[in-house]
Every structure is written in structure tokens, then in C-alpha cells.
């Protein structure tokens, strides 16, 4: 009898272990719905702190409940840069404030890292940070990516017969030691670009030689984001122009932009660097959109001359600077039959919760640089301005 009970209990234990493993694999498979649609919600720069960001949580909850997305995508800077006396316990508390709520919605989520997540790398390695997220049942970050923050997640067709869409997540590393103030971020490394190219080829081969349309998300924009900006003379810079403290020049959006606003000069990889990332997108022809975070007061997106759509979601969190009540999430609605013609739009705190025209931390926005530039325009004669520009050339 005891032997029978032992065998019976062993079988029960095996079954108990096997069921969760099977459930996890099943939950990780993303598919288009029966209506042929798949909805993604982008969130970035939540930069959570020990005290729960109540306004951010309200925005995210209201957006999820209205949109019912199929996937949540966190695009870096889940951790804040302002954390005196930081330790791992405190950092975990910051993240738990938000992700305990996120996981309660039973919606799959993935993420990559931003520069401020990298700031804590010596204390809390990225692999260990990712292990924290993977404790959550609905985190579906795969184990077989290039590294903890660089991987892809396929989306099956509605009938489950093939991979109909793909999502790339790319880790853009941290600030370069020898960098300029604004355009001084490392961006992706050459070996990440090679990984992307190989993965693109693998997906294409498995799809009968047809490229698999893909959205790509990363924290730091590639330098080609400047294709959407035109330099304007300082004496012609209107209210929609922004000022760069790197080169004392003024910029405005051009007609390649489809929608959105320019609130600060993009803080990209160095303009003189060449990661080859954008060129790889053009070569492979699978990227139907590349979207970034990092620049909290930019929300524009557009299409380059090469046909690559690129753009931003503005910052989501209130624990750092932003656009007042225009902090946002970005939604993508992809049609299985026309994946390149997806619909995208932002949902703001003003729209989803209530109107906050100004927030204290917005005093620290890089947009202040534009105000500084306007003051320079008023107090500096034109010839002095020209001398400054010549000295910087």
C-alpha cells in the first residue's frame, strides 16, 4: 500500500511540475486574433522610485483597460537616475511598485534596458535585473536572445500556421565616456547588428523566402532620427524650433514627419559614429517601424527617404521630466493582412485621466535649453552669435 502511495504521489508530483511548464510555453506564444489584429502598447521612461508614481499608474491602468492590448513593451529606463544610497533591495522595490500592477492584468510583457538601467549594472547586473522581471508570470522575454536586452519575439498568424510578424528588442547600452552632451550615447554595438541580420535571415528562410515584417524597439534613437530635423538660422527660429547646446544650432521638424511634436534635440548615438544599424534595416527590408524612448518630450514619428518609419513615444512616468499632462503610452494596431500599414497613436494622461498642464520635475527638462537659446537670441547681437558658431565649427 505504501509503495502504491509512493508511486501515486510521484506521478502527481510529475504532473504538477509538467503542467506549469506547459502552460508557460503556451502563454508565451503570441498570435494575431481571430479578427486578424494584434495590438501592442509601448511604455518607456517610467523611471520608478521608492514612492509609487500614482499618476503614472493611473495613466497605464486607464490605457490598458481602454485598449486591452495583446502585448506590453517596456522600452528602457525602468529605473530612475536619482536614487541616493541605492541598493538592490531598494531597486527591486521601485520596480515592484509598477510591475506588481502590470502582472495583475494577465497581459504578456517584454522589455529592454535604457541608459539608467545600465547605470546600476555594477551593482545589479543586467542578467539579474532581467531575472527579476522573469519572476512575473506574464513576462515572456525568451532565453535565446543575443543578450538580456537584445532578442526577438515572433507573432504567429491567426491560424497559427506561420510567423506573420516579429518584434525586435535592442539594448542600446549607456553613455560614452568621451561623448558630447546630447549625442553621446553608445547605441547598439556591431555584434548586435550582426545578430539582427542573422535573425532576419533566419526568419526569412523559415517564411519561404519572404521577409517577416517587424517592429523594432530600443531606448536610444539611432542618429538617423536627425533625418526628420532641419537646421534653421537663429534669427528665423520660430516657436516650434528647439535649441541644441551641443552646437548652438536651432532645429525644427521637416515634412518627412507624419505626426507628433519636437520638444528637445534628439539625444542619439554620436552623429560621427557608424554602428551600421540603420543601414542593416535598409538592407534587410523587414523593419516596418523603429520606435524609441529616452527623449521624454519628443512624440513625433515619420518616414525616411529609405521608407523606414521611425519615431518616439513621449515619457510615460512622472518621476522624471516630461510634457506635463502629455506623458503618454503609444499604441500600435497591426493588421495581419497589411502589417506595414499599421495604425499608431498616443494616449496621454490628459486624455485618459485628467488635465495636468505642468509638473514640478518638468523644470529639469532639456527643453529648458530652448528657453536658454531664446534668451541668447535676445541679448546677443547677431555678429556675436556668428562668432560663437564659427568658433565651434
Q: Give the mean model confidence (pLDDT) for residues 311-332.
A: 95
Residue 90 lies in domain: 30-230+253-363
CATH assignment at residue 349: 3.60.21.10
* Any domain includes 17: no
Q: Give the mean model confidence (pLDDT) for residues 78-85.
A: 88
* Any domain includes 83: yes
Question: Which of the residue ranges 46-55, 165-174, 228-237 would you say has the lowest mean pLDDT?
Answer: 228-237
Question: Which of the residue ranges 216-230, 276-290, 346-360, 378-392 would you say has the lowest mean pLDDT?
Answer: 378-392
| pLDDT for the residue numbered 92 | 97
How many CA atoms, within 13 angstroms, populate the side-chain half-sphere of residue 254? 14
* Any domain includes 189: yes
What is the number of domains present in the chain?
Answer: 1
Whether the full predicted model's pTM is greater than 0.85, yes or no, is yes
| Structural element, H or E, at residue 152 | strand 151-156
* Any domain includes 386: no
| Structural element, H or E, at residue 354 | none
What is the torsional sign of CA 324, 302, 154, 198? negative
Of residues 12 and 309, the one with the higher pLDDT is: 309
Percent of the chain with pLDDT over 70: 90
- For residue 139, what is the DSSP state? B
Q: What is the dihedral of CA 27, 33, 37, 39, to 10 degrees?
A: -30
**Quick check: 201 pLDDT over 60?**
yes
29 φ, ψ (degrees, to nearest 5): -85, 115
Contact 12, 261 (CB under 8 A): no
| pLDDT for the residue numbered 179 | 59
* CA 230 distance to own-chain centroid: 24
| pLDDT for the residue numbered 121 | 96
pLDDT tens digit string along 224-280?
999 999 999 877 888 889 998 878 889 999 999 999 999 999 999 888 888 999 999
Of residues 393 and 197, the one with the higher pLDDT is: 197
* Any domain includes 159: yes
Amino acid at each position: 500500500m505504501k509503495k502504491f502511495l509512493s508511486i501515486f504521489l510521484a506521478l502527481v508530483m510529475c504532473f504538477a511540475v509538467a503542467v506549469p511548464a506547459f502552460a508557460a510555453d503556451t502563454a508565451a506564444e503570441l498570435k494575431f486574433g481571430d479578427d486578424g489584429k494584434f495590438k501592442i502598447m509601448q511604455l518607456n521612461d517610467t523611471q520608478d522610485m521608492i514612492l509609487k508614481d500614482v499618476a503614472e499608474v493611473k495613466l497605464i491602468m486607464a490605457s490598458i483597460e481602454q485598449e486591452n492590448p495583446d502585448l506590453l513593451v517596456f522600452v528602457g529606463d525602468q529605473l530612475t537616475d536619482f536614487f541616493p544610497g541605492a541598493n538592490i533591495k531598494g531597486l527591486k522595490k521601485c520596480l515592484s511598485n509598477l510591475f506588481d500592477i502590470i502582472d495583475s492584468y494577465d497581459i504578456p510583457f517584454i522589455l529592454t534596458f535604457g541608459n539608467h538601467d545600465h547605470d546600476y549594472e555594477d551593482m545589479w547586473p543586467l542578467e539579474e535585473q532581467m531575472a527579476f522581471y522573469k519572476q512575473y508570470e506574464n513576462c515572456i522575454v525568451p532565453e535565446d536572445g543575443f543578450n538580456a536586452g537584445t532578442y526577438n519575439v515572433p507573432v504567429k498568424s491567426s491560424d497559427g500556421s506561420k510567423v506573420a510578424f516579429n518584434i525586435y528588442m535592442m539594448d542600446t547600452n549607456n553613455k560614452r565616456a568621451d561623448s558630447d552632451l546630447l549625442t553621446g550615447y553608445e547605441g547598439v554595438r556591431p555584434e548586435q547588428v550582426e545578430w539582427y541580420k542573422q535573425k532576419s535571415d533566419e526568419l526569412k528562410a523559415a517564411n519561404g523566402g519572404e521577409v517577416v515584417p517587424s517592429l523594432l524597439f530600443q531606448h536610444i534613437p539611432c542618429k538617423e532620427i536627425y533625418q526628420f530635423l532641419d537646421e534653421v538660422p537663429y534669427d528665423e527660429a520660430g516657436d516650434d524650433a528647439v535649441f541644441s547646446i551641443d552646437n548652438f544650432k536651432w532645429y525644427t521638424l521637416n515634412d518627412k514627419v507624419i505626426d507628433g511634436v519636437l520638444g528637445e534635440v534628439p539625444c542619439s548615438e554620436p552623429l560621427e559614429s557608424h554602428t551600421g544599424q540603420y543601414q542593416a534595416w535598409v538592407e534587410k527590408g523587414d523593419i516596418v517601424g523603429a520606435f524609441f524612448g529616452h527623449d521624454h518630450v519628443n512624440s513625433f514619428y515619420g518616414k525616411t527617404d529609405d521608407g523606414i518609419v521611425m519615431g518616439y513615444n513621449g515619457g510615460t512616468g512622472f518621476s522624471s521630466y516630461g510634457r506635463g499632462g502629455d506623458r503618454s503610452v503609444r499604441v500600435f494596431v497591426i493588421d495581419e493582412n497589411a502589417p506595414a500599414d499599421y495604425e499608431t497613436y498616443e494616449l496621454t494622461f490628459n486624455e485618459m485621466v485628467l488635465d495636468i498642464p505642468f509638473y514640478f520635475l518638468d523644470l529639469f527638462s532639456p527643453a529648458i535649453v530652448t528657453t536658454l537659446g531664446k534668451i541668447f537670441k535676445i541679448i546677443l547681437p547677431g555678429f556675436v552669435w556668428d562668432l560663437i558658431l564659427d568658433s565651434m565649427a
